[in-house]
Amino acid sequence: MKIGYRTAAFADRPVTEALQAIAEAGYNSVELCLESDGLNPLELTPAKITELRAQLDDLGLSVAAVSYQGLEDQLEVRRQRRYAAIDLLPQFGAPVFVVASRREEPARLHVQWDEALQLYSELGNLCAERDCILAVEPNPGLVIRNTEDLVRALRELDHPNVGATLDVAHAAVTGDDLPWSIYQLGGRLRHLHIADIRDGVHDHLVPGTGQIDFHTLHETLDSVGYNGPAVLDMNPGPGDPAAICREALVGFRQVWSD
């Protein structure tokens, strides 16, 4: 299994510094988060992409996915960056583009739902042209907030290039049953975010320091034949991000081998 790390955890540190730290920690892949400093898809020049690809190759890092959620961006900016990001997928050799829905507005949630499905159908078509998969990630407080929403959306879409990102921390926060989630998603599960959770608080913890049953998670993923990457998803915050990056991998290896 490819074990990756999200560059978003390095907050405003240069992406070159983040990649160096991720490789030195022992990861073999990375998720490039286009909200990260130096990765704005509208500003990535061909020269910069070539430079980043060379660094990735030198460090032995493959690109597990490119992600862009942009929840803090204005809608038009978000739209432009999302389309620009899809154009970058082949240049980074990324098989998956991870996206999330908008923040929910209860009074017009049914309209937002239809808008989200229309958007994902369009983005799925664009990903198909680039031989990539759009992997939608549920997130508490968004239109598609949990696995049940995601399963429903994927069934309604029925698009061969639209699949799922399962964030086990988000699933724990929204009270999802992880084995049920994995069985329901089945072959549509294309990407995995790993972090721990304690007492339902949405604070991504180092694996093994919270309450998620990683042994059962591992067994269930094996039972459905999941062979995609596992990407450690730590929140940016106080402390040395390189140290947290190392701690997360140590913790993951311990809970994954138990």
What pLDDT shows up at residue 206?
A: 96
Q: Is the confidence at residue 37, as pLDDT, over 80?
A: no
pLDDT band at 35 (very low <50, low <70, confident <90, very high): confident
In this structure, the number of other CB atoms found within 10 A of the CB of residue 18 comes to: 27
Two structure tokens written together for 54: 């060379």
Q: Is the confidence at residue 88, as pLDDT, over 70?
A: yes
Q: Is the confidence at residue 91, as pLDDT, over 70?
A: yes
Whole-number percent of the chain with pLDDT over 90: 89
Pairing of strands 133-136, 96-99: parallel
Two structure tokens written together for 196: 């721990």
The percent of the chain in helix, strand and coil, each rounded to the nearest 5, is 50, 15, 35
Cβ proximity of 192 and 228 under 8 Å: yes
Cβ proximity of 34 and 41 under 8 Å: yes
Q: Is the confidence at residue 1, as pLDDT, over 90?
A: no
What pLDDT shows up at residue 257?
A: 82
Q: Is the confidence at residue 73, as pLDDT, over 90?
A: no
Which residue matches tokens 């999200």?
Answer: 6
Rounded (10°) CA dihedral 23, 66, 90, 81:
-130
Q: Which residues pair with 99 in a beta bridge?
A: 136
From CA 210, how far away is CA 205, in angstroms rounded?
A: 7
The predicted model scores a pTM of: 0.95
Q: Is the confidence at residue 92, as pLDDT, over 80?
A: yes
What pLDDT shows up at residue 237?
A: 77
Which residue matches tokens 């660094």?
Answer: 55
Two structure tokens written together for 185: 């998603």
Give, in words, the CATH class of 6-257.
alpha beta
From CA 58, how far away is CA 23, in angstroms rounded?
A: 10
Domain segments of the chain: what residues? 6-257
Cβ proximity of 48 and 16 under 8 Å: no
Q: Please report, in angstroms and rounded to a whole number, the separation of the first and last CA atoms in the chain.
A: 16
What pLDDT shows up at residue 258?
A: 59
Q: What pLDDT digit, counting tens, does each position of 121-152 carry?
A: 999 999 999 999 999 999 999 999 999 999 99
CA distances from 78 to 29, 42, 47, 64 (A): 26, 11, 24, 22
Out of 5-9, 45-49, 73-77, least confident range: 73-77
Average pLDDT, the chain: 94
Q: Is the confidence at residue 251, as pLDDT, over 70?
A: yes
